[in-house]
Amino acid sequence: MPDYSLEFLRPEISTEALAPLLTHHDEGELAVDIYETDNVIFIKTAIAGVKPEDLSLSLTHDLLTIRGKRHDEDEHGERKYLCHECHWGKFSRSIILPADIKVDKAEATFKSGILIIKLPKAKKENAIKVKVEEE
Q: Is residue 9 part of a domain?
A: no
State how many domains the chain has: 1
- Look at phi and psi of residue 49 and say left if phi exceeds 0, alpha if psi is from -120 to 50, else beta: left
Q: Is residue 52 part of a domain?
A: yes
Structural domain of 33: 21-72+82-120
For the segment 108-131, the average pLDDT, to the nearest whole number, is 86
The answer to whether 6 touches 96, Cβ cutoff 8 Å, is yes
- H-only helix segments in the chain: 15-22
CATH classification of the domain holding 50 = 2.60.40.790
Q: Which tens digit of pLDDT belongs to each residue from 27-84?
A: 788 899 999 999 999 999 998 888 888 999 999 878 999 999 987 766 556 778 788 7
Q: Is residue 59 part of a domain?
A: yes
Q: Is residue 10 part of a domain?
A: no
Q: Which tens digit of pLDDT belongs to each residue from 85-109?
A: 777 888 989 999 999 899 999 999 9
